[in-house]
Amino acid sequence: MKITIHIPTQQLELFDDAGRLLRRYAVSTAAQGAGEESGSFCTPRGRHVIRAKIGAGQPENAVFAGRRPTGEIYTPELGAQFPGRDWILSRILWLSGCEPGFNRLGKSDTMRRYIYIHGTPDSVPMGIPDSHGCVRMRNADLVELFDRVTAGTAVEIIA
């Protein structure tokens, strides 16, 4: 399996080992655009791997904080109680850069920046750059993707 994320088209593509396209999903990458520096709120480019899969068995819309489920299930009412919160829902695919000096180590380390592919409230638009650096997906799409990939799956982010 391999994942390619296209920042210009706001799409994530899942390919099998033979290079055949299996699925295409709408995503939302960073509102600040592409970039690797810590604190930039940009989506990092280049070659990555899924370092960790977090949330297996959690219900769709489970709320995560610090990569741990809080026990809450997101609802619009919960969202209204915490306006402006960057919701991380359902599952987390934690990314790690593979290119030292570009997206790995130092001030540009994707994993130390806590860059994930994660779920978001259904009211959040897809197909437009709007995240704080992560790659947001619809919860049902993320659960499907999560169940198809393993830790170590290659992820390329293209600007």
pLDDT value of position 8: 98
- Asked whether the predicted pLDDT for residue 84 surpasses 90, the reply is no
Per DSSP, the three-state class of 144 is helix
The residues, any chain, with a CB within 8 Å of residue 67's CB and separated by 6 or more, are 54, 92, 94
- Domain covering 2-158, topology: L,D-transpeptidase catalytic domain-like (2.40.440)
pLDDT value of position 45: 98
User: What are the pLDDT digits (tens) for 34-53?
Assistant: 999 999 999 999 999 999 99
Average pLDDT, the chain: 97
Residue 94 in contact with residue 51, Cβ under 8 Å? yes
Query: How far is the C-alpha of 108 from the C-alpha of 123, rounded, in Å?
Result: 31
Round the CA-based radius of gyration of the chain to a whole number and report it: 15
